[in-house]
């Protein structure tokens, strides 16, 4: 809860589908759980359909509505624009908002192309000089377990990091009759599993290591090349309509990578791992220990201390639910589980804290661009017989 005297932070959000609902939880809940230096107000939600946006505003708790996102940019009473649209609109909205003096929170991936992302970084750099903050929403950094893993690696608890294996496994479109939603069309989504879920593991791996991927070799595959045209689409779920259309993005993307500091890694993003619902998994092996995380057990960290005597060493299941753990002193007594949406509450907490205190926020747009460059290099490699591609820095 913020003190009555805390300055207001008036938020305008664009989009009200899956991410719009998730960000709304963040804005609504963060001030009731954490002490924040500013008081966020859920001011305006924007969407093209007046009835739908009005219903969303009532449901999600926004005070006002707009049917054109440009209104948020031009109004004086909006301090921050939260971009929750499909990726093809990110650049236009975020740049306009930054140029209009707003802070920006933009969902991941930052953009659908490196060129767009570069333009966004330029806008963010210019805005930073005016004191504005721009952040990209890689929310999985903000779970207590991943935050703890990052702290441990930064402290040197794992020693020299040697290897990473990262997977984001889903099975949402294994059925060839799953319709051709916008996420399966290159012009709207940029790429398939690679950009949607691969972006998460690239960001998370780099975040955990505090290091960057400098080169990759990739392989992409589209298993189901034609799908029924949807009548109505929302994310990956859609209702089948008439006729079929071409899937123009990858169903699965595999790549190997080298980090600047010498570690190597394997990465896999797929929507065809039958039975895996939301298995973002990452394991980091260092000379002194290892740590592993699985989003399907998001309150846990698996940790191996290599300095233990051999008789008692073993991967331990750390329940990251204690008051001593990141974010948790504000929540419940020991041993109480958090859920997926808490990552958005923490994202808002950290963003509002950074704005209110003038401290840097991460992931910045520059970090979002760098992830985009990794994804771009994977696609280039995949298109060139998996030959090694350096990631421009």
Q: Which stretch binds a copy of itself (CB under 8 A): 89-97, 182-190, 200-208, 304-312?
A: 304-312
Q: Which stretch binds a copy of itself (CB under 8 A): 59-67, 105-113, 196-204, 363-371?
A: 59-67
Sign of CA dihedral 197, 202, 206, 209: positive
**Interacting residues of 48 by C-beta distance below 8 A, sequence separation 6+:** 67, 68
Q: How far is the CB of 192 from a copy of itself (least distance, A)?
A: 14
Is residue 232 near a copy of itself by the rule CB under 8 A? no
Q: Which of residues 106-145 bind a copy of itself (CB under 8 A)?
A: none
Q: How far is the CB of 273 from a copy of itself (least distance, A)?
A: 5
- Residue 237 neighbours by CB distance under 10 Å: 15
CA separation for the pair 142, 348 (Å, rounded) = 10
CA separation for the pair 333, 27 (Å, rounded) = 23
Q: Which of residues 277-296 bind a copy of itself (CB under 8 A)?
A: 277-279, 283, 285-290, 295-296
- Residue 3 neighbours by CB distance under 10 Å: 9
Is residue 354 near a copy of itself by the rule CB under 8 A? no
Annotate each residue in 144-183 with x if it binds a copy of itself (CB under 8 A) or - if it does not, as one string. Answer: ----x---x-----x---xx-x-x--xxx-x-x-------
Q: How far is the CB of 57 from a copy of itself (least distance, A)?
A: 9
- Residue 305 neighbours by CB distance under 10 Å: 16
One residue of 52, 229, 318, 354 binding a copy of itself per CB under 8 A: 318
Is residue 341 near a copy of itself by the rule CB under 8 A? yes
- Residue 198 neighbours by CB distance under 10 Å: 31
Structure tokens at 315: 């991967």
Q: Are 375 and 194 in contact (CB under 8 A)?
A: yes
One residue of 246, 362, 388, 392 binding a copy of itself per CB under 8 A: 388
Q: Which of residues 1-20 bind a copy of itself (CB under 8 A)?
A: 1, 4, 18
């Amino acid at each position: 809860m913020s003190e009555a005297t805390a300055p207001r932070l008036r938020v305008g959000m664009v989009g009200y589908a899956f991410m719009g609902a998730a960000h709304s939880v963040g804005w609504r809940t963060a001030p009731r759980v954490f002490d924040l230096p500013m008081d966020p107000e859920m001011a305006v939600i924007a969407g093209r359909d007046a009835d739908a946006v009005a219903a969303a505003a009532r449901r999600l708790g926004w005070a006002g509505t707009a049917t054109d996102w440009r209104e948020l940019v031009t109004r004086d009473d909006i301090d921050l624009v939260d971009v929750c649209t499909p990726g093809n609109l990110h650049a236009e909205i975020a740049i306009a908002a930054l140029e209009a003096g707003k802070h920006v929170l933009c969902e991941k991936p930052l953009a659908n192309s490196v060129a767009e992302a570069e333009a966004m970084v330029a806008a963010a750099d210019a805005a930073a000089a005016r004191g504005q903050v721009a952040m990209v929403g890689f929310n999985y950094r903000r779970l207590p377990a991943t935050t703890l893993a990052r702290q441990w690696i930064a402290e040197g608890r794992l020693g020299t990091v040697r290897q990473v294996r990262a997977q984001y496994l889903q099975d949402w479109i294994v059925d060839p009759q799953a319709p051709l939603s916008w996420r399966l069309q290159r012009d709207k989504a940029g790429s398939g599993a690679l950009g949607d879920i691969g972006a998460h593991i690239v960001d998370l791996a780099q975040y955990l290591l505090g290091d960057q991927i400098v080169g990759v070799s990739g392989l992409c595959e589209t298993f189901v090349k034609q799908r029924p045209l949807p009548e109505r689409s929302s994310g990956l779920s859609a209702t089948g309509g008439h006729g079929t259309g071409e899937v123009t993005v990858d169903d699965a993307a595999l790549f190997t990578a080298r980090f600047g500091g010498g570690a190597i890694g394997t990465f896999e993003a797929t929507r065809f791992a039958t039975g895996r619902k939301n298995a973002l998994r990452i394991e980091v092996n260092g000379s002194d220990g290892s740590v592993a995380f699985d989003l399907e057990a998001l309150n846990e960290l698996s940790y191996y201390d290599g300095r233990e005597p051999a008789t008692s060493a073993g991967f331990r299941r750390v329940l990251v639910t204690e008051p001593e753990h990141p974010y948790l002193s504000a929540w419940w007594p020991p041993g109480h589980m958090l859920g997926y949406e808490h990552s958005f509450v923490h994202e808002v907490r950290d963003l509002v804290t950074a704005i209110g205190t003038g401290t840097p926020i991460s992931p910045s747009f520059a970090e979002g661009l760098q992830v985009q460059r990794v994804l771009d290099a994977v696609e280039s490699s995949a298109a060139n017989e998996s030959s090694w591609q350096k990631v421009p820095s």
